[in-house]
Amino acid sequence: MKALGRTVLARNRHARILGLGDRRSPSSETPAMVMIQDDPESFLPHCAFRFKRDPTSSPAMLSMETLDPDFDVSGESSIIQWEVEEGLHLPPSLNDSDSGRSGGDSAWLLLSWQSLHHDSRLSNPDLRPDIVVLVDAPQLSSSGADLILAIRTLRERFPAALLWTPGLGGPDNAALLSWMGVDLFDSSRARFAASHGHLLTMLGPRPFHDSESEDRWIQEWVDVSHSIRSAIRNGTLRELVEMQALNSASSVEHLRRFDALLRDNEAPLNRFVPSSRKFRFNAVTSRQDPLVHDWRHRVSEDYNPPSHSSRILLLLPCSQRKPYRESQSHRRFARHIQSNGVDQVMVTSPLGLVPRALEDLWPAAHYDIPVTGDWDLDELDMIHSMLARLVERVGYEKVIDHSGMNLASHFPNLDIIDSREGRTAGNPESLERLESVIKELVSDLGIRAPKGHRHRIECYRALSRFQYGTDAWLDDVRIEGRPPKWRLQKNSIQIAQWHPDAGRFAFSKAALPILHETKTLPEIELQADIDWRGDIFSTIISSYPAGIRVGDDLLVIQDGNLIGSARATASHWEWAGSPGRLARSHHRLG
């Protein structure tokens, strides 16, 4: 039986580069083009599939084939072909009705907004098509919310399939559709625009120049495909999407609706990223990113400072350099903060508040934003709401405001002390007042704050509670070694090391039983008859928890026994059947 070879080469949330063919040497990559009827032959070398529709029968017959015989990984090199009936798909306005004539088959699935509500095949957990087509994507585009929901539903329901939205994609919105999870594109919109004298480019339509050929749109598709793949690999697709979305009101709408949908439901976010990764918040739309919403919510609801610094909140301005402690301004602050009895929290946009204990984490240590010194009303409202919730939940008794935001006037019921009094944060008089205020409050409240390693371990506990929901694994742990990669030892055995560049604990093999006993890490179950030798793929998984994020450390269980650990390379939605590696093996016991 012929099989379409697919493997995930790179990921950026819902966007992926899928290699087609041999997983060790793919013949082509997504986003890929589908050649449709009346496409010029000059487009053929840039396409991965060919599509045809035969309207002479009722319902019409549809055919799809690969253009490269090496896409077949069944053992013989040959063209893969699919042929199905089109079915009868009612318009989106009739989604309450059931035509009773679904299109496609189990390998090539044709769905519409209406059939998403009625097609009984979707209830079959073993349904794993090669290609899924949302046939009425252009009609759904005008409804906005329905299109976004349909694409996300199909993307997450069929993680191994290639998703195609015929007639919807063009060089002007391909990055946005890829961001949502679309893999295949066609030329229909680009050709239609060209027939009316306009060229669809990555930045929107423009009139053809006299020197340009009529098939100039082909090169635009080639260029945008390369740009999308590069952005997915570099983790910068969001920036490309924001730039591209501004070319049309509908694209801005779709991005906003997609962000809202992910904010209200589990978004496929990273827990950790490489130290070189940056998130550039260069547009107002960046504030709507689910990553920003997730950080604000978790700090407001989940962050708990060390007990010895939970009575005094010190608000500091952010800095351009990350993590903040490495900046010149925060080094000056440190010289005047003589007690660990205050909880240092940075005020910034778009993240709102960044506690000192969390400054090495993603995205706090990895974001860039244009700095003007001005705060707009949305930013002020966000910071005010986060601060109000944090103070209410933690129960700080005193607040020292060195941020320069004049918060006392906005919170008349809070005991807020302005340590700057109109001066700059680094002004010598401001710093002297900051030092004296801290000394006075710590003395008045009788706070006895630990120093050195005792303070550091309490900060690690706060960080662990934020990341894992528990700090039990840190009981009776001692800190050894040299900064910044401190070693954490229990009974003279190293169980972890703190890696500030990565913003994570690197757990040793000796830590696994402790992490298992304290229920610190998520656990995945392997099938009982599997001899686990390599990485983690969906074919060997028996069960997995909800909410897995890229970078999560996972404990591996088999037959009820702890057998090792792995590190997630795929978000939760791919664990239902992605064709790529889900987690990289790390430690093995026994």
Residue 73 pLDDT more than 90?
no
Mean pLDDT, range 343-361, rounded to an integer: 96
What is the predicted pLDDT for the residue at 77?
74
391-441 confidence digits (pLDDT tens): 999 999 999 999 998 898 889 889 999 999 999 999 999 999 999 999 999
Could you tell me which residues are beta bridge partners of residue 4?
72
Half-sphere exposure of 167 (CA within 13 A, CB side): 10
Q: Reduced to 3 states, what is the DSSP secondary structure of residue 258?
A: helix
The per-residue pLDDT for 538 is 95
275-305 per-position pLDDT tens digit: 888 888 888 888 899 999 999 999 999 999 9
Which residue type is seen at 432?
E
Q: 401 and 315 in contact (C-beta within 8 Å)?
A: yes
Q: 270 Cβ partners below 8 Å, 6+ apart?
A: 362, 549, 550, 551
- Dmax of the chain from CA atoms? 89
Residue type, 369: I
For position 288, what pLDDT does the model report?
92
So what's the pLDDT on residue 100?
64
User: Could you tell me if residue 487 is left (phi over 0), alpha (psi between -120 and 50 degrees) or otherwise beta?
Assistant: beta
Q: With a cut of 80, say whether residue 76 has pLDDT above it.
A: no
Q: What is the mean pLDDT of residues 484-490?
A: 95
Sign of the alpha-carbon torsion through 489, 304, 439, 401: positive
pLDDT at 268 over 90: yes
Question: Stretch 563-582: mean pLDDT, rounded?
Answer: 96
**What whole-number distance in Å separates Cα of residue 176 and Cα of residue 239?**
10
Average pLDDT score, the chain: 94
Map out the domains of the chain with their CATH numbers.
6-264 (no CATH), 303-444 (3.40.50.10630), 452-588 (3.10.400.20)
Percent of the chain with pLDDT over 70: 99
Q: Any idea what the Cα angle at residue 157 is, between residues 151 and 162, rounded to 5°?
A: 65
Residue 32 in tokens? 């890929």
pLDDT of residue 575: 97
Containing H/E element for 20? strand 15-20
Interatomic CA distance for residues 351 and 381, integer angstroms: 12
Indicate if the pLDDT at residue 373 is higher than 90: no
Average pLDDT estimate for 152-177:
97
Is pLDDT at 139 greater than 90 in this prediction? yes
Residue 1 banded pLDDT, cuts 50, 70, 90:
low
Residue 462 makes CB contacts below 8 A (sequence gap 6+) with 303, 304, 305, 306, 355, 357, 358, 471
- The residue-averaged pLDDT of 156-174 equals 97
Residue type (1 letter), 342: V
